Structure 1
């Protein structure tokens, strides 16, 4: 093993809310390897507090300051006057509080609006780790600066990497999101119900029309939708049930009693390059999967993954998925190769090549 490193994830999502993202899992696995890891997320600004934007748990986490979880990962949700992108964070002060020194070994940056030239000065190695496509606007501008300054670029999909136009001299890697196998790959079978489940945000990335088509095509099935966001304006079929947000800890129980996991992506541009963690969480839990096809997500019936091109075709995909024998063991085998522990080692090996 290499000597313990000081590592900071400069990320968009904190670990106090409903969602877990790749940086949370990578931070955990790198901490378990013996490194000192800080997970720093988008700050809660005075503007957010006045307008009451974002999850209440984020504001609560920001009041706690620096904390350390059971895996040894240090967490911080900063409190600022203005939103990210309008004024840089004081990384030297943050790193000094977390590590006792302003200089660190590695910074993984996946929140472009937190990028600043100070990070370049303080971190021996900077890796830009984009998880979404930003084609225009403030995030695209910050992203370009991060790409040009980074030592290495690690994208979660080939579509995201291609869109970045990384300089030829900058090494790059595609490292898709993975799955927390210990949480989801449980072979203790419970009775599977005729249920299709979606877990995630209900925003512009979600396609209600596709869900309607599937629910109409399979009227004897329950379609359980979990996640924060607004319901659609148009009525839903009676077999579609909205449950609201769900705790990350409660997700495995919901998946083990279902038969199909849903990824009804809209045609929003950001979906073109997404590498949804839910794909492997569904598969690891023994479900078949129905997904809109994108540059990243494609049909693979061998592993119980059925795609559709438009919402109108979603009904055909759900009919194919409901025929998969449960549990979907071929899908489970595919997910077993995508654990976060292996992803973290690959990420670290690629990062340390820049220092050799």
Structure 2
């Protein structure tokens, strides 16, 4: 259905492996192919696993996409954990989320705001923010970088094009680079804004190492309130200072080169502080090291092993 509606191209669909496949890290992936999107079709997790010869019993099941919930998920393990990564105030995801919470043995939220959005879950719960692959992003010793501000990631309704344009107009000598697959921007942009398109994950470190400031220009979209953006720590790990819109999750840490703004009235001042911060940002690298995925994995494993079995 997504392909018929033009949301997925034939080329994109062709790159999705058919059936289970194991990556270089030993992780087995299985992407279901159905006529109708979940949860409107006949997809069930247990049936899909059986069909492809995958044993449908696991030590732990984590589910982080509400639309992939069905009644058979509960039977896949004695420990089922819901891991919400976003706020779902209304709609079909909100309805599915209520079903998951009613059946789950534990909850792991990616931010305190996301956990608060669930009310008061009766299950054991944990806030575990997104982390960073330190070894992938950390730069070696280098000289001070030039005035380049960069954003890497999805460019959708949660991205504030107006703020990027305002920054670029106010600081014409600074280069602003917005990296990510996206349609044409909804506003006209000055000549010092570059749109190179999407890049492979393997190329991100070398790209970030050319910049001085990482941007998180979040829009007024309510979903931004609970986001725990991985790119925040990726920027810091790569030696950038960061300018970000303040949210309940993202607050200032100027000692680590993280500068926030509340609106257009103080956004330019926050950008200027980030641009004038020492480069490369050694303090930011140190903070990012405390958020490594290996540390997060240890916390995750400890939480999961303490959950009672059903």
Report the TM range for the smaller structure's normalisation. over 0.9
Q: Which runs of 5+ in 2 are unaligned?
A: none
Are the aligned partners of 1:292 and 1:310 in contact in 2 as well (CA < 8 Å)? yes
Q: What whole-Å deviation, never above 9, does each CA across 1:184-240 have from its counterpart, x for those lacking one?
A: 013243662210000111110000111122212322110000112223332112111
SS in 2 for 1:234: coil
SS in 2 for 1:164: coil
SS in 2 for 1:132: coil
Structure 2: distance between partners of 1:62 and 1:198: 27
Q: Give the drift of 1:57.
A: 6.1
Q: Give the drift of 1:257.
A: 1.2
Match in the other structure for 2:70: 116
The partner residue of 2:289 within 319, 333, 336 is 336
Work out whether 1:82 is the aligned partner of 2:82. no
Q: Give the drift of 1:279.
A: 0.3
Structure 2: distance between partners of 1:329 and 1:99: 49
Match in the other structure for 1:167: 121
| Aligned pairs, number | 309
Q: Give the drift of 1:347.
A: 0.8
Work out whether 1:151 is the aligned partner of 2:151. no
Match in the other structure for 2:217: 264
Match in the other structure for 1:350: 303
Return 113-122 or 85-94, whichever deviates more: 85-94
Trace 1:65-76 onto structure 2 (pairs within 5 A).
65-76=19-30
SS in 1 for 2:79: strand
Are the aligned partners of 1:196 and 1:260 in contact in 2 as well (CA < 8 Å)? yes
Q: Give the drift of 1:74.
A: 0.6
Match in the other structure for 2:194: 241
Q: Give the drift of 1:249.
A: 1.0
Work out whether 1:132 is the aligned partner of 2:83. no
Q: Which runs of 5+ in 1 are unaligned?
A: 1-46
The partner residue of 2:278 within 321, 325, 332 is 325
Return 297-306 or 56-65, whichever deviates more: 56-65
Are the aligned partners of 1:293 and 1:299 in contact in 2 as well (CA < 8 Å)? yes
Structure 2: distance between partners of 1:65 and 1:211: 42
- Which has the larger share of strand? 1
Q: What whole-Å deviation, never above 9, does each CA across 1:232-257 have from its counterpart, x for those lacking one?
A: 33211211111111111111111111
Structure 2: distance between partners of 1:192 and 1:238: 21
Distance 1:186 1:98, change over 3 A: farther
Name the TM-score, length of structure 2 as normaliser: 0.94
Match in the other structure for 2:244: 291
SS in 1 for 2:2: helix
Are the aligned partners of 2:144 and 2:279 in contact in 1 as well (CA < 8 Å)? no
Q: Give the drift of 1:63.
A: 4.4
Q: What whole-Å deviation, never above 9, does each CA across 1:34-90 have from its counterpart, x for those lacking one?
A: xxxxxxxxxxxxx01222313666512444321111000111211001001113523
Structure 2: distance between partners of 1:283 and 1:248: 16
